[in-house]
Amino acid sequence: MTLFLDLDGPILDVSRRYYRAHQLCRGADPPAKLGPAEFWELKRARATMGEVLARDGVSPGEAPDYAARWRELIEAPAHLLLDQPWPGVHALLAAWRPLHQLVLVTLRQRPEALRDQLHRLQLAPLFHEILQASPEHPEGWREKERLLRGSPRFAAGAWVIGDTEIDIRAGKLAGLRTVGVLNGIRRRGLLEAENPDYLVEDLGGLSQVLEWTAAPQPETAARNGNGVPPSGGLRTRTPEGESPDQVLPGHSQGG
Ligand SMILES: [Mg+2]
């Protein structure tokens, strides 16, 4: 089976990089009002750039400059050093690799910086394929869908795993099974609204889902009345028999 895995969020904790870029983009004046945790919660709530700046005491007139600086700084090599793989991620990928085709699918603007980071973090050898496209597309999920469909490992029954609406929408457009991961850059309510097939706390939770769905038991017996399998906080949003490639509402609300 093919697992299409998103990088930023499910595999890497990018919160330190994002906060550092924000600090540099806003400048030292006026003094910051947002600490790292508050900033990250705003990002997880999908606050707009204007909202983040306003909460941090920066005038809206600064926003155009901020956006340009953000594009310049967010993937600067010095800042990519701040990303940290979540504990246990290497072991999970190594365990899945003999069983599944592992395809990394990421929207990054700098292919060389991505390649260097994946090698430095010893993640590159764990994947069978690495796909990357620009994050600048206004409907990132269509760009991601294009990457999915372009993979030689694209096949019915593949899974798309990610932490934002982009991943879930891309997977649905491609007719694949989708898994929302909650330890990334979107909070639970926003991911729930995208109606993924499964929601998991982290990639360790995905391990449980993979085992659970591979087990030879009827789906109805594996869930209680709330659709929660007995093994943990997992949840299916796709009743048995429902077409996985249903069209999502709300595509135009932006990412
Ligand atoms: Mg992500």
Measured in Å, residue 216 CA sits from the centre of ligand 1 at 32
For residue 237, being part of any structural domain is answered with: yes
Amino acid 255: pLDDT: 35
pLDDT digits (tens, 9 = 90+) for 169-201: 999 999 999 999 999 999 999 999 999 999 999
Measured in Å, residue 30 CA sits from the centre of ligand 1 at 30
Same domain, 159 and 54: no
Domain that holds residue 156: 2-12+84-247
Same domain, 6 and 121: yes
Measured in Å, residue 7 CA sits from the centre of ligand 1 at 6
Q: Which of 80, 114, 135 marks a domain boundary?
A: 80
Measured in Å, residue 73 CA sits from the centre of ligand 1 at 18
Same domain, 222 and 190: yes
Measured in Å, residue 247 CA sits from the centre of ligand 1 at 22
Measured in Å, residue 10 CA sits from the centre of ligand 1 at 6
Q: Which of 80, 98, 126 marks a domain boundary?
A: 80
For residue 252, being part of any structural domain is answered with: no
What is the total count of domains within the chain?
A: 2
Measured in Å, residue 105 CA sits from the centre of ligand 1 at 9
When the pLDDT of each residue in the chain is averaged and rounded to a whole number, the result is 87
Q: Look at residue 99 and tell me whether its pLDDT is greater than 90.
A: yes
Q: Look at residue 92 and tell me whether its pLDDT is greater than 70.
A: yes
Transcribe 47-87 into DSSP letters.
--HHHHHHHTT--GGGHHHHHHHHHHHTT-HHHHTT-EEPT
Measured in Å, residue 181 CA sits from the centre of ligand 1 at 9
Measured in Å, residue 14 CA sits from the centre of ligand 1 at 9
Q: Look at residue 75 and tell me whether its pLDDT is greater than 70.
A: yes
Measured in Å, residue 183 CA sits from the centre of ligand 1 at 10
Question: Half-sphere exposure (CA, 13 Å, Cβ side) for 24?
Answer: 16
pLDDT digits (tens, 9 = 90+) for 4-31: 999 999 999 999 999 999 999 999 889 9
Whether the CB-CB separation of 53 and 66 falls below 8 Å is answered with yes
The pTM assigned to this predicted structure is 0.85
For residue 28, being part of any structural domain is answered with: yes
| CATH number of the domain that residue 109 is part of | 3.40.50.1000
Same domain, 99 and 73: no
Q: Look at residue 214 and tell me whether its pLDDT is greater than 60.
A: yes
Same domain, 68 and 108: no
3-class DSSP assignment, residue 13: strand
- Residue 245: pLDDT band with limits 50, 70, 90: very low
Measured in Å, residue 8 CA sits from the centre of ligand 1 at 4
For residue 74, being part of any structural domain is answered with: yes
pLDDT digits (tens, 9 = 90+) for 136-153: 998 999 999 999 999 999
Same domain, 36 and 135: no
The residue written with tokens 């085992």 in the block is 211
Amino acid 7: pLDDT: 98
